[in-house]
Structure 1
Amino acid sequence: MQDILKLKEVLEIPQNIIITTHHKPDADALGSSLGLYNYLIKKGHQVTVITPSDYADFLAWMKGNDKVVVFSDGNESLSQSLVNKADIIFCLDFSNLKRIKELGELVRNSSAKKVLIDHHREPEQFADYGYHDVGSASTAQLVYKTIVAYGDKHLVDKDIAECFYAGIMTDTGSFKHPNTNKEVHEIVAELIDLGANNSEVSRLIYDTNSLDRLKFLGFALSQRLKVFPEYHVAYFAISMKDLEKFKSRTGDTEGLVNYALSINGITMAALFTESEEGVKLSLRSIGDFEVNTLAAHYFNGGGHKNAAGGISYKSLDDTVAFFENIIKEYSVQLKNKKPIETYV
């Protein structure tokens, strides 16, 4: 926190500011970005949010969404121009510039002051200012605490509060993950007091589905879920043909991996999603099993102890086969006292 406090004096003078976040932004990434965006606008700064890629439609309600520049939507030249003019670049919810793809090199080469606010492990040392806390449940939480530390809590209105609430709610799994501590509840209580409509935010994110997405979910659960009772592991393997069949859009696989993890007795769950760029992995676990180390060692990834991601450049079938061999090596660590139901 001390490091980010040094930035307060710089922000007293209007600046040209860019805010960026990771590829395929989730609610914490976009919520922290647009929450900060709306705050900095109030402070008199010129601000633009640039995302490396598109994101789920269920996040489009956040104030400022219509002003976001999506780098991959043919906005490479515009992004280059905006970054070149920037005085300050905020990097939110990612710890390494490779997480923002081609945009990362633009940021790295920029003469602007860089600010990193994040809660992922092993941050790259590229920022001039930073607030990095792996103990924080979300980046939105850190951005909100920064605003409060600057003495500007009074500037957090309903729209800003709801952006931050969305980030905290989703990164805590609706307040059920182990990272949901006393401070989380205290902060979300403050955000509700500041105007956040918690039930409406939850509805917009979790209960706004297309018919195609619900059909896809049913298909994935009935046809693509595989369980290894002896290893306490379950996974989904989703091909591009599966996604095309159900007209899937960005965000339609969000939360799918948690269904596998919810099976009684499962210690680790995985979601393999085939794309033109490779096979994306989402890993989840319970207890002491660290999926971030597995993701980093085998799948060019990382993340948190119980929630991580990565990528494979093998085919979908080869990636799944590789994963099935890996879990055999972790059989002792994956042991769970709860047995898998016999019908699996």
Structure 2
Amino acid sequence: MAFQYAYMFNELIQKLKQYDTVGVFSHIRPDGDCIGAQVATCLWLQENDIRAFAFNDDDVPLNLKWLADYYPIRQPDEKSLQKCDAFVLLDGNSPKRFGSYSDYIQDDPKPTYMVDHHPDPYDGFDFSISVEEASSTCELIFHLFLQNDISQLNEDAAKALYTGILTDTGSLQYDSVTPETMSIASELLRIGGFRPNEVAERVFSNKSLNQLHLLSKAMGTIELYEDNQIAVMYVTKEMLEETNTTNDDCEGFVGYPLSVTGIKAAILFKALGDGVKMSLRSKSNDVNVNKWARKIGGGGHKKASGAWHPGPLEETIKEVVEIGAEQLVSVDKS
């Protein structure tokens, strides 16, 4: 696998060094992996005398805003986009995952490169590095430095990459974590000269009292289905208003129903006024929530996916649980 990474990233490095200015997009509704990969990639471009713009249509989540201090992330605008000679898309494998990029590139085609770890990638990019087995996109971006000049990996870039690995692996708990993942995390700590708590506390230990009140309300909604194999939890717009919180404050909530003994999969439903968004998680090799989510127009990974339903909430829960139940039945029959 290391040889494969070397070949792929050597080719990507050669391509990127052709340009004076590169736009780097992270996916809409950003998380730690896409922001970490974006910041580190922009710092790498800067180290190699390539001007970089970091773009995202959405705001950086509150617990990740410190990463934007390492490299500014802005909403794309026509003037900045036109300055770019090429684009890099990170942690998403389809143009629609990057908001306004999808519309802009149709009117002004420019070379676009993608680095990602999600299944079933779009095949229309000029060059792609797609490794579904990687724990995170940040694990992959480490090789951008490794194959070019590891001395360019400074503390800021190392912390950004470590953040992405930490958040996309459930703090190194998911089965996507491999010896390679742990080796890279160790190298990031060593080269960056920081301790794990310096990142973990910034990402996870910054909850407000209002967020805990919201969590309390959400925990009260947990219900189990299909012989206690599927757990459901929901958050409503009214809950946010009552606790003076926002959608960002729901980060990590899906882990609570997933932690119930005997559960194979959990879903967090968020009915916040524009249909129902959902996060699906699995802790069983028998349940593929990517296939589950795709049946309602979503997608993601085998054990972590997202989707949207027009609602209302009760109907959404009923329909989504039924889809999951079908998958459990097929497992039982196999």
TM (norm. structure 2) is 0.92
Matched, 1:86 2:112: no
CA distance, structure 2, for counterparts of residue 276 and residue 228 of structure 1: 25
Point out the more displaced range, 225-234 or 133-142: 225-234
CA distance, structure 2, for counterparts of residue 108 and residue 32 of structure 1: 25
The two structures, once aligned, show a CA RMSD in angstroms of: 1.8
Matched, 1:28 2:33: yes
How do 1:1-344 and structure 2 match up within 5 A? 1=5, 2-13=7-18, 15-64=20-69, 67-71=72-76, 79-150=77-148, 152-195=149-192, 196-221=194-219, 223-228=220-225, 230-288=227-285, 289-297=287-295, 299-332=296-329
Amino acid at match of 1:46: R
Aligned to 1:166, the other structure's residue is in SS state: helix
Amino acid at match of 1:67: P
Shift of residue 277 of structure 1? 3.5
Q: Percent of aligned positions with the same letter in both sequences? A: 26
CA distance, structure 2, for counterparts of residue 247 and residue 70 of structure 1: 26
2:290 touches 2:303 (CA, 8 Å); kept in 1? yes
CA distance, structure 2, for counterparts of residue 328 and residue 287 of structure 1: 14
Per-residue Cα deviation, 1:296-341 (whole angstroms, up to 9, x for no partner):
01x2111111111111122222211212333332343577xxxxxx
Shift of residue 239 of structure 1? 1.3
CA distance, structure 2, for counterparts of residue 117 and residue 302 of structure 1: 17
Per-residue Cα deviation, 1:116-165 (whole angstroms, up to 9, x for no partner):
00000111122112211000000011111122112x11000111000000
Shift of residue 249 of structure 1? 2.6
Residues 320 and 63 from structure 1, CA distance in 2 versus in 1: closer, same or farther, beyond 3 angstroms?
Answer: closer
Shift of residue 7 of structure 1? 3.1
Amino acid at match of 1:134: E
1:54 touches 1:250 (CA, 8 Å); kept in 2? no
Amino acid at match of 2:65: A
More helix by share: 2
2:17 touches 2:50 (CA, 8 Å); kept in 1? no
TM (norm. structure 1) is 0.89
Per-residue Cα deviation, 1:49-78 (whole angstroms, up to 9, x for no partner):
11121231110111546721135xxxxxxx
Residues 277 and 100 from structure 1, CA distance in 2 versus in 1: closer, same or farther, beyond 3 angstroms?
Answer: farther
CA distance, structure 1, for counterparts of residue 47 and residue 65 of structure 2: 21
Counterpart residue number, 1:342: none
* Paired positions, count: 325
Residues 284 and 127 from structure 1, CA distance in 2 versus in 1: closer, same or farther, beyond 3 angstroms?
Answer: same
CA distance, structure 2, for counterparts of residue 130 and residue 85 of structure 1: 22
In structure 1, runs of 5+ residues without a counterpart are 72-78, 336-344
Residues 230 and 239 from structure 1, CA distance in 2 versus in 1: closer, same or farther, beyond 3 angstroms?
Answer: same
2:63 touches 2:206 (CA, 8 Å); kept in 1? yes
In structure 2, runs of 5+ residues without a counterpart are none
2:114 touches 2:127 (CA, 8 Å); kept in 1? yes
